């Protein structure tokens, strides 16, 4: 076992992180939400999806970054290149593509006056063009959005000149996970969970395991290594520039429920495909501000889940959960994946229930601060980065 079940080890590893209570106002304040719009979601690289979602020329998806009132069109052009544009027609500002995803090989047209754009963003046809005044179509292509890629993940940046490249921004997360075969894992299911909770309530609630033996005591409370008091200890915590990861080890003595035992203890000829980039057996990367990559093994293969927490309002969030597994090589492996999907989903349904109750408590203003223990250090770090960007208290 690699886990050291010692108390207060993360405060020792990161003494600058502090131990003070964390203020609650950022969870419910309209002013803080406005700062998040301008200083975080407009100034950070935001994950919007994966290139695998749009494999063919003309394939596209649209991502609403609601907090910024921005709709981004990610489209693979006839030249094979994936580009990002504001999803807005150059003529009168109509929203261009209305479907969340689809394919429009060759061109995209506006439903208002049928202005037509190539799938690489140039304006190529304007009905009644001769009746406009000095219209040069070359000047009126779609407005690009800074778009960059890492290991197949598509990120956008809403500022015209990002201060850092995506690679610089991802920093230690990219260093750790470079070469991870995300492209070999297929999207099996996406859940979109709308919650009456601040996006940080939902993210913070996922960003620790202290709650597991309590809130999830029946379903996954025994999943990971614990100390002699039955409390989970991380194997490791790493804080990067803006981002973080915590890792833990599976509990080797967990009693398996009958179906899990039947599916996982039976003969399995599937080859072992585990990735060397993992730190523990369950690695939870938070890519600031709203993206999570969660790596874990199912049977013989590494799988991953991604979360995107999309703020709709200060008290409304879409928690988007995407579960990815290897192409199964047997019926048993397919059922192992189904089993994991269901058990994680059912645990997350307990979380979704809790998020709304937590938000209600915080929004009541009853408590000025929340109190964090050492195993909640990743939450503390997230709020430190949040304040570094927002300067809500620094300028107060």
Partner 1 sequence: MADAVLPDGFEDLAPWLGWALEPERARTAKKTESSMEELRAFYDVMMPRMEEIIAYLDGVPSDNRPAPAHRLYLITLSLVEVSNLVEIYKRRDVIEACDPLHFNPQH
Given candidates 14, 18, 102, 191, which one binds partner 1 under the rule CB under 8 A?
Answer: 191
**What's the closest the beta carbon of residue 189 comes to partner 1, in angstroms?**
6
Q: Which of 25, 122, 338, 387 binds partner 1 (CB under 8 A)?
A: 338
* Strand pairing category for 82-86 and 46-50: unpaired
- 354 counts as binding partner 1 under rule CB under 8 A: yes
Interface region with partner 1, contact rule CB under 8 A, candidates 73-81, 169-177, 328-336, 367-375 = 328-336
Return d(Cα 299, Cα 336) in angstroms, integer.
7
259-278 residues near partner 1, rule: CB under 8 A:
259, 262-263, 266
Tell me if 331 contacts partner 1 by CB under 8 A: yes
Query: Using the rule CB under 8 A, which residue among 352, 360, 383, 384 binds partner 1?
Result: 352
Strand partners, 85: 73, 144
Residue 350 touching partner 1 (CB under 8 A): yes
Residues 233 and 6 sit within 8 Å (Cβ to Cβ): yes
Among 92, 192, 274, 369, binds partner 1 (CB under 8 A): 192
Distance CA 333, CA 218 (A): 25
Length of the chain: 396
Do the Cβ atoms of 246 and 236 come closer than 8 Å? yes
Stretch that binds partner 1, among 52-60, 113-121, 295-303, 339-347 (CB under 8 A): 339-347
Give the number of other CB atoms < 10 A from CB of residue 175.
Answer: 11
- Identity of the residue, 68 or 352, whose beta carbon is nearer to partner 1 in the bound complex: 352
* Most distant CA atoms of the chain, gap in Å: 80
Region from 49-57, 105-113, 253-261, 385-393 binding partner 1, contact rule CB under 8 A: 253-261
Q: Considering only residues 343, 361, 373, 383, which one is a binding residue for partner 1 as defined by CB under 8 A? A: 343
- Name every residue whose Cβ is closer than 8 Å to that of residue 277 and which is 6 or more positions away in sequence: 176, 177, 178, 179, 180, 295
Can residue 316 be called a binding residue for partner 1 (CB under 8 A)?
no
- 345 lies in the site for partner 1, by CB under 8 A: yes
User: Residue holding tokens 């047997």?
Assistant: 330
Residue 353, interface with partner 1 (CB under 8 A)? yes
According to the binding rule CB under 8 A, does residue 190 interact with partner 1? yes
CA distance 309 to 234: 23
Q: Which residues are within 8 A (CB) of 390 and not within 5 positions of it... i.e. 6 or more apart?
A: 26, 32, 35, 36, 39, 40
CB proximity list for 281: less than 8 A, separation 6 or greater: 247, 248, 249, 250, 296, 297
The four Cα atoms 324, 330, 331, 337 give a dihedral, to 10 degrees, of -20
For the four alpha carbons of 266, 271, 273 and 274, in that order, the dihedral sign comes to positive
The residue range among 16-24, 301-309, 340-348, 361-369 that interacts with partner 1, by the rule CB under 8 A, is 340-348
> Among all chains, which residue has been given the structure tokens 């090989």?
105
Near partner 1 by CB under 8 A, which window of 28-36, 270-278, 284-292, 338-346?
A: 338-346
Q: Name which of residues 165 to 184 contact partner 1 (CB under 8 A).
A: none
Rounded to a whole number of angstroms, the minimum distance from the CB of residue 219 to partner 1 is: 6
**Helix intervals (H) in 29-160:** 30-35
State the binding string over 207-236 for partner 1 (x if CB under 8 A, else -): --------x--xx-----------------
Radius of gyration of the chain from Cα atoms?
A: 23
Least distance (Å) between residue 332 CB and partner 1: 5
Region from 61-69, 187-195, 272-280, 381-389 binding partner 1, contact rule CB under 8 A: 187-195
In terms of CB distance, is 11 or 335 closer to partner 1? 335
Q: For residues 74 and 60, what is the distance between their CA atoms, to the nearest angstrom?
A: 5
Instruction: List residues near partner 1 by CB under 8 A.
Output: 187-194, 215, 218-219, 257-259, 262-263, 266, 321, 328, 330-332, 334-335, 338-339, 342-343, 345-346, 348-350, 352-354, 356
């Amino acid at each position: 076992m690699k886990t050291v079940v010692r108390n207060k080890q993360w405060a020792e590893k990161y003494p600058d992180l502090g131990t003070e209570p964390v203020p609650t106002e950022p969870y419910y304040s309209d002013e803080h939400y406005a700062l998040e719009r301008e200083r975080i979601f407009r100034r950070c690289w935001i994950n919007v999806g994966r290139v695998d979602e749009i494999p063919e020329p003309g394939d596209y998806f649209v991502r609403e970054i609601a907090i910024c009132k921005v709709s981004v069109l990610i489209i693979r052009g006839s030249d094979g290149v994936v580009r990002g544009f504001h999803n807005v027609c150059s003529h009168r500002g109509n929203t261009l593509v209305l479907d969340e995803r689809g394919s429009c090989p060759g061109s995209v047209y506006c439903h208002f006056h049928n202005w037509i754009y190539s799938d690489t963003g140039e304006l190529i046809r304007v009905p009644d063009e001769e009746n406009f005044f000095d219209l040069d179509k070359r000047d009126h292509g779609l407005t690009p959005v800074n778009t960059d890629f890492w290991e197949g993940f598509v990120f956008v940046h809403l500022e015209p000149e990002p201060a850092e490249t995506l690679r610089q921004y991802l920093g230690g997360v990219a260093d750790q996970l470079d070469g991870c075969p995300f492209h070999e894992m297929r999207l099996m299911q996406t859940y979109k969970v709308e919650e009456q909770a601040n996006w940080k309530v939902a993210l913070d609630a996922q960003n620790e395991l202290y709650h597991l033996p309590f809130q999830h005591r029946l379903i996954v409370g025994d999943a990971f290594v614990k100390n002699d008091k039955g409390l989970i200890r991380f194997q490791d915590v790493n804080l990067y520039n803006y981002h973080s990861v915590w890792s833990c080890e599976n509990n080797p003595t967990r009693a398996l429920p009958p179906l899990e035992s039947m599916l996982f203890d039976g003969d399995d000829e599937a080859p072992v495909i585990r990735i060397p980039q993992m730190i523990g057996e369950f690695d939870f990367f938070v890519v600031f501000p709203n993206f999570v990559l969660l790596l874990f093994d199912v049977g013989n293969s590494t799988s991953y889940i991604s979360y995107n927490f999309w703020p709709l309002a200060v008290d409304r969030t879409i928690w988007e959960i995407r579960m990815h597994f290897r192409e199964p090589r047997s019926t048993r492996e397919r059922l192992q994946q189904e089993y994991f999907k269901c058990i994680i989903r059912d645990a997350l349904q307990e979380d979704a229930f809790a998020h709304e109750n937590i938000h209600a408590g915080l929004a009541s203003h009853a408590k000025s601060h929340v109190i964090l223990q050492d195993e909640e250090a990743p939450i503390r770090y997230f709020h430190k980065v949040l304040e570094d960007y927002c300067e809500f208290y620094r300028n107060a």
